[in-house]
């Protein structure tokens, strides 16, 4: 069904036929725009950005590119078309028709899931709002803004569900989503990773590669939900999420390509010499990788969790690719390996699979992230440089859950406080590392030019050339 | 006319995913309505047997990895097993030519007349790309879908010239700038026979009217008078000008192995055209424009004649091209209150620059338009040469021998 852009709020949920809901959302809309003006990308309200919007949810209408000022971007509500006869595919209600309304006893759990997901969207915009000042190219600046407006749209997606299905509680939560602030001492965002700073573009690319990928896995789990509107909302968000991961994957790929180029040209692998060339040495890239990977590990929640069991059994949140898994979709007697610290050592034990669903999702994620890291390694290999990036052990640098009690190195060994202190600057970005990366960040805003520390991409956006004016400053 | 070898194989435009830029996000597999995309732990791949070229997967793909095509022999596309082993896409290969097939006699007849001005067959530029010829015959034409039909001349202009976009979907129809395609108008002529084909030069560069799309454009003038100004309705031109989006058109060809552009850096183009003869010039100019950032050098000079601005196809877009990219000289013959100007007048006005280009061994000359312009242009070149102390009559055979002089008039 085509999206009606003549409406104040573009949508394919026939908003016009529900006047109460339409009014409520039109009341929230100016508050959203106010939030965007305060916390959106800094100093950009007048810039014309070559952005993609969806004209319809069908593939042919999915990508319409044009210049738009971001405050004028037509944020809207898009769900994938309903699948006739869809069932709840897992848990106690397996086989029943999927719900089109919220079952009363699951209200607060569902609301919590939606609010937690929704909170991450404006959070990342807040974290990234200063990056425009140090963009490495107009192409990258556009990509940053595309990610930002889409996170704004994802917020809309969650707020629609809150308004449509959760009454006054939903409206209050929707307001609160605009009041929390990333990194704020008094009113921070809900999840730890979203209160961290994103100080430079290397962090931004790592964030969109690793942390947006957690987003992908959470959305995939929610897209399995027995609550059909949630499933359909998340399904559509996944196509936008794919682009965010592309920004991160290609961003790091291009950084690594440029660094290898410089290393081969100058015939050196000494970080100090490489840094002197104004590019980022690979060990620094590895440390940033370690940091963002470990911070994202914590986003999946406790590895043994009764909440996870409840969400699954009640049919609210499924496993990744639930319908493709060949089992009973009940997990009653099943077990799943989880890690714990016993006698100062990291050991694997078996936990009930229902309780270990967060861990399973974490493991699915790790496979996907590791495959991406291998693609970076192909770039390095092609250049002839004998270095390989690695994914650290999932227990490394954890701050949440039982693994936080110990110190574990990137290889998965428990180490003493002294060993940790002696080595942490090899494993995680030091203040000096961050200062060095910050020193490279400078604004490059001429069409076709790219900062020295990052290679140009293989192709432009929407088949435009690299020197296309992706952002026009007025 | 010489008889080149024509391939008899069917060419498939195979849809492939570039494993170097694919991020394995699964969006294409989810989007594909016919299940043509699958994957293993290494690669995502497209099954040529299932892919129906609906292109649903193109927009949602975040990297553009799936927007890749290779021309292959339809009988032997890349298998799934092969694709799963790739670390990068294979380069576009040359297709083996099969047994020769006959060029339609119509094409031979038309081409002989059109190229008479250059002294018959010429050589292509040494750096020209290799053209595909005669991939589709009258018996088995390609079916193109009209994806656009836009009027180019101003409202109220005496001529209705149109820019027509044809999309080939999954059928491979590789054309180069300067080549022509044959249109088979539907229906029967007064003798009860199917209409003869009509040839049209493509107006778009080799990577498509829209880059990386399998489409091309034509510049077609609705013929309402014959050469003696008697009213007639041109069969093919009216058919084409009346086409609507979504209509299907039978296309044969491509044809033309010599009216091609050079590709080596530093090569220049001297283009002279009138009216719809601008089509190949547009193709070549657009090819160069899309490659501007590569700074390959060479100059472009264009002499373009029409009755007035409103009658000159692509007038607006031409004005937008940077002056340092192309040197444009318009000649208007029917502007009220102004003296009549023809392309030869403008050539004479720029004699010094023209002579310099004629003398430049990296400059290639293209003339396309009405037969009537040939003689005038020839004389203008002679005058320009004389002014620079050169002998046009000695130069011309050299230009022909070097593949630097190409004429197509009608």
The tens digit of pLDDT for each residue in A99-155 reads 999 999 999 999 999 999 999 999 999 999 999 999 999 999 999 999 999 999 999
Answer yes or no: is pLDDT of A390 > 50. Answer: yes
Which pLDDT score, from 0 to 100, does residue B243 have? 96
The closest CB to that of B27, out of A242, A249, A458, belongs to: A242
Instruction: Please give the ipTM for the structure prediction.
Output: 0.77
Q: For residue B290, which residues of chain A lie inside 8 Å, CB to CB?
A: 465
Inter-chain contact A467–B293, Cβ cutoff 8 Å?
A: yes
Q: Write down all domains in chain B, each with its CATH number in brackets.
A: 11-85 (3.30.70.20), 105-255 (2.40.30.10), 268-409 (3.40.50.80)
Interface of A with B (CB under 8 A): 58-60, 62-63, 216, 238-239, 242-243, 245-246, 249-250, 368, 371-372, 375, 378, 448, 458-459, 463, 465-467
Higher pLDDT, B41 or A226: A226
Contact assignment for A238 to B290 by CB distance below 8 Å: no
Rounded to 5°, the CA angle A219-B29-A236 comes to 35
The alpha-carbon gap from B29 to the nearest alpha carbon of chain A, in Å, equals: 12
Q: Report the alpha-carbon distance of residue A403 to residue A397 in Å, rounded.
A: 9
Can you give the pLDDT at residue B5? 44
| Mean of all residue pLDDT scores within chain A | 93
Please give the average per-residue pLDDT across A393-411, as a whole number: 93
How much of chain B is in helix, strand and coil states, percent to nearest 5? 25, 25, 50
pLDDT the model gives residue B98: 42
Indicate if B200 belongs to the active site. Answer: yes
Looking at residue A83, the DSSP 8-state letter turns out to be: P
Please indicate, yes or no, if residue A97 is contained in any of the structural domains: yes
Candidates B99, B281, B273, B276; CA nearest to B198 is B276
Over residues A431-474, the pLDDT tens digits come to 999 999 999 999 999 999 999 999 999 888 888 889 999 999 98
pLDDT(A286) > 90: yes
Cα separation, B14 vs B8, in Å, equals 18
Report whether the peptide linkage leading into residue B254 is cis, meaning its omega lies within 30 degrees of zero: yes
Residue A8 falls within a domain, yes or no?
no
Minimum CA–CA partner of B27 in chain A = A239
Q: How far apart are CA A349 and CA B60, in angstroms?
A: 41
Closest chain A C-alpha to B25 CA, distance in angstroms? 6
Q: Is B255 a catalytic residue?
A: no
Exactly one of B44, B132, B200, B405 is catalytic; name it.
B200
Q: Which residues of chain B have pLDDT under 50?
A: 1-7, 97-100
Residue B410 annotated to the active site: yes
A59 with B56: Cβ contact below 8 A: yes
pLDDT of residue B4: 45
User: Into how many domains does chain A fold?
Assistant: 1
3-state helix, strand, coil in chain A (%, to 5): 55, 10, 40
Task: For residue A249, list chain B residues with Cβ-Cβ distance below 8 A.
Answer: 23
Judge whether A294 lies within some domain.
yes
Name which of A59, A64, A447 to mutate to probe chain B: the one with the most chain B Cβ atoms within 10 A of its Cβ: A59
Q: Do B60 and A459 touch (CB under 8 A)?
A: no
For this structure, is B408 an active site residue? yes
- The tens digit of pLDDT for each residue in A35-58 reads 999 999 998 889 999 999 877 777
Q: Does residue A9 lie in a domain region?
A: no
Rounded to a whole number of angstroms, the distance from the CA of A458 to the nearest CA of chain B is 8
**How far does the CA of residue B72 sit from the closest CA of chain A (Å)?**
23
Interface of B with A (CB under 8 A): 20-21, 23-27, 31, 41, 55-60, 62-64, 67, 87, 210-212, 290, 293
The verdict on a CB contact (< 8 Å) between B211 and A243 is no
Asked if B270 and B189 touch (Cβ cutoff 8 Å), the reply is: no
A429 CA: distance to closest CA in chain B (Å): 26
Residue A2 binned pLDDT confidence (cut-offs 50, 70, 90): low
CA atoms within 13 A on the CB side of B202: 32
Residue with tokens 């069908």: A58
Q: What are phi and psi of B181, to 5 degrees?
A: -120, 155
Measured between CA atoms, the residue of chain B closest to residue A59 is B56
Cα A169 to Cα A32, A160, A166, A179, distances in angstroms: 18, 13, 6, 15
Instruction: Indicate the burial class of B273 (C-beta count within 10 angstroms; 0-12, 13-18, 19 or more).
Output: buried
**Contact indicator for B279, B218 with CB cutoff of 8 Å:** yes
Number of A/B CB contacts below 8 angstroms equals 59
Chain A neighbors of B212, CB-CB under 8 A: 463
Instruction: Report residue B8 as tokens.
Output: 């008899």
pLDDT at residue A375 in the model? 94
Give the confidence band of A179 by pLDDT, cuts at 50, 70, 90: very high
What Cα–Cα distance (Å) separates residue B352 from each residue in B266, B270, B356, B361, B380?
Answer: 20, 13, 6, 16, 12
**A330 found inside a domain:** yes
Q: For position A3, what pLDDT does the model report?
A: 66
Using an 8 Å CB-CB cutoff, list chain B residues near A449.
none
pLDDT of residue A239: 86
Residue from A463, A466, A467, A469 whose CB has the most chain B CBs within 10 Å, to mutate: A463
Q: pTM higher than 0.80, yes or no?
A: no
Please check the confidence at residue A1 and state whether its pLDDT lies above 60. no
| Phi, psi for residue B404 in degrees, rounded to 5 | -110, 5
Q: Is B342 a catalytic residue?
A: no
Q: Is the pLDDT of residue A310 over 80?
A: yes
Task: Work out the average pLDDT over A412-428.
Answer: 96
State the average pLDDT over residues A323-349. Answer: 92
Q: Residues of A with CB below 8 A from B55's CB? A: 60
Nearest CA in chain A to B210: A463
Q: Give me the catalytic one of B201, B204, B267, B308.
A: B201
Region of A31 please: left (phi>0), alpha (psi -120 to 50) or beta: alpha
The CATH number assigned to the domain holding A237 equals 1.10.620.20
- Flag if B64 and A459 touch (Cβ within 8 Å): yes
Which of B25, B211, B293 faces A448 most closely, judged by CB atoms?
A: B293
Of A242, A463, A467, the CB nearest to B25: A242
Count the Cβ atoms, other than its own, within 10 Å of residue B28. Answer: 25
Asked whether B136 and B101 are in contact (CB, 8 A), the reply is no
Which residues of B are less than 8 Å from A373 in CB distance? none
Residues of chain A found within 8 Å of residue B59, distances taken between Cβ atoms = 59-60, 62-63
Nearest to B211 among A239, A375, A463 (CB): A463
Q: Write the DSSP symbol of residue A99.
A: B
CA pair distance A373, B280, nearest whole angstrom: 47
Q: Considering only alpha carbons, which residue of chain A is nearest residue B18? A: A458
Nearest to A59 among B41, B60, B67 (CB): B60
A412-416: average pLDDT: 94
What value does the mean pLDDT take over residues A78-91?
94
Instruction: Provide the residue range defining the domain that includes A250.
Output: 15-472
Contact B62 A62 (CB under 8 A): no
Q: Decide if A122 is inside a domain.
A: yes
B210: which chain A residues are within 8 Å (Cβ-Cβ)? Answer: 463
Better-scored residue on pLDDT, A200 or A59: A200
Query: Which of B19, B62, B209 is the best residue to mutate to test the A interface, defined by the most A CB atoms within 10 Å of its own CB?
Result: B62
């Amino acid at each position: 069904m085509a999206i009606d852009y003549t409406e104040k709020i573009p949508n394919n949920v026939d908003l016009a036929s529900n006047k109460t809901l339409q009014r409520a959302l039109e009341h929230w809309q100016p508050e959203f725009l106010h939030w965007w003006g305060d916390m959106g990308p800094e100093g950009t309200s007048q810039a014309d950005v070559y952005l993609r919007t969806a004209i319809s949810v069908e593939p042919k209408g999915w990508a319409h590119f044009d210049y738009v000022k971001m405050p004028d971007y037509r944020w809207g509500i898009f769900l994938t078309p309903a699948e006739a006869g869809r069932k709840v595919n897992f848990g106690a209600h397996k086989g029943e028709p999927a719900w089109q309304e919220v079952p009363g006893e699951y209200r607060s759990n569902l609301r919590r899931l939606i609010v937690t997901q929704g909170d991450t969207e404006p959070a990342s915009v807040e974290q990234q709002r200063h990056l425009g000042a140090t963009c490495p190219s107009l192409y990258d600046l556009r990509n940053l803004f595309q990610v930002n407006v889409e996170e704004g749209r994802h917020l809309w997606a969650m707020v629609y569900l809150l308004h449509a299905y959760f009454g006054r509680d939903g409206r209050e939560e929707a307001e609160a989503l605009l009041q929390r602030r990333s990194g704020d001492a008094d009113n921070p965002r809900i999840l730890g990773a979203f209160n961290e700073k994103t100080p430079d573009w290397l962090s931004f690319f790592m964030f969109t590669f690793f942390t947006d990928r957690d987003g992908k896995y959470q959305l995939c789990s929610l897209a399995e939900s027995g609550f059909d509107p949630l499933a359909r909302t998340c399904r559509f968000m996944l196509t936008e999420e794919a682009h965010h991961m592309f920004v991160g994957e290609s961003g790091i790929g291009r950084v690594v390509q440029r660094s290898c180029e410089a290393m081969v040209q100058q015939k050196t692998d000494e970080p100090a010499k490489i840094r002197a060339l104004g590019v980022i040495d690979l060990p620094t890239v590895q440390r940033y990788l370690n940091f963002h990977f470990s911070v994202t590990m914590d986003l999946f929640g406790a590895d043994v969790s009764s909440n996870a069991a409840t969400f699954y059994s009640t049919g609210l949140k499924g496993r990744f690719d639930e319908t493709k898994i060949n089992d009973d979709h009940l997990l009653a007697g099943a077990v799943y390996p989880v890690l714990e610290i016993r006698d100062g050592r990291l050991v694997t034990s078996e936990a009930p699979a229902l309780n270990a669903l967060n861990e399973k999702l974490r493991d699915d994620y790790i496979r996907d992230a590791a495959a991406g890291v291998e693609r970076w390694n192909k770039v390095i290999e092609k250049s002839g440089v004998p270095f390989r990036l690695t994914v650290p052990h999932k227990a490394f640098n954890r701050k949440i859950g039982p693994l936080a009690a110990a110190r574990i190195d990137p290889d998965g060994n428990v180490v003493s406080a002294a060993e940790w202190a002696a080595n942490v600057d090899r494993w995680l970005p030091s203040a000096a590392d961050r200062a060095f990366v910050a020193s490279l960040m400078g604004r490059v805003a001429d069409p076709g030019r790219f900062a020295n520390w990052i290679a140009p991409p293989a192709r432009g956006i929407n088949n435009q050339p690299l020197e296309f004016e992706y952002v026009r400053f007025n | 006319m010489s008889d080149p070898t024509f391939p008899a194989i069917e060419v498939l435009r195979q849809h492939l995913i570039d494993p170097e830029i694919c991020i394995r996000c699964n969006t294409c597999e989810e989007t594909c309505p016919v299940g043509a995309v699958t994957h293993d732990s290494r690669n995502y791949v497209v099954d040529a047997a299932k892919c129906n070229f609906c292109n649903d997967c193109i927009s949602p793909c975040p990297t553009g990895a799936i927007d890749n095509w290779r021309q292959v022999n339809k009988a032997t596309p890349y298998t799934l097993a092969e694709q799963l082993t790739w670390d990068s896409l294979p380069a576009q290969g040359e297709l083996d030519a099969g047994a020769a097939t006959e060029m339609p006699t119509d094409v031979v007849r038309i081409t002989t007349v059109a190229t008479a001005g250059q002294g018959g067959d010429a050589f292509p530029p040494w750096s020209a790309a290799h053209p595909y010829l005669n991939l589709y015959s009258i018996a088995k034409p390609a079916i193109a879908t009209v994806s656009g039909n836009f009027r180019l001349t101003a409202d109220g202009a005496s001529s209705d010239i149109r820019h027509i976009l044809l999309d080939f979907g999954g059928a491979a129809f590789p054309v180069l700038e300067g080549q022509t395609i044959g249109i088979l108008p539907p229906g029967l002529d007064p003798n009860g026979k199917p209409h003869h084909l009509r040839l049209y030069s493509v107006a778009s560069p080799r990577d498509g009217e829209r880059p990386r799309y399998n489409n091309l454009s034509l510049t077609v003038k609705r013929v309402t008078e014959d050469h003696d100004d008697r009213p007639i309705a041109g069969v093919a031109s009216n058919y084409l000008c009346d086409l609507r989006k979504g209509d299907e058109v039978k296309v044969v060809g491509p044809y033309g192995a010599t009216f091609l552009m050079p590709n080596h850096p530093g090569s220049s183009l001297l283009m002279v055209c009138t009216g719809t003869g601008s089509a190949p010039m547009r193709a070549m100019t657009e090819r160069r424009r899309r490659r501007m950032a590569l700074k390959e050098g060479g100059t472009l000079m264009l002499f373009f004649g029409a009755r007035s601005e409103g009658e000159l196809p692509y007038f607006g877009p031409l004005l937008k091209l940077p002056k340092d990219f192309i040197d444009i000289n318009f000649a208007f013959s029917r502007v009220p209150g102004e003296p009549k100007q023809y392309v030869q007048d403008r050539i004479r006005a720029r004699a010094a620059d023209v002579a310099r280009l004629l003398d430049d061994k990296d400059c290639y000359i293209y003339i396309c338009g009405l037969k009537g312009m040939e003689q005038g242009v020839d004389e203008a070149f002679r005058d320009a040469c004389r002014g620079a102390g050169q002998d046009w009559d000695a130069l011309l055979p050299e230009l022909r021998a070097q593949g630097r002089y190409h004429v197509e008039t009608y």
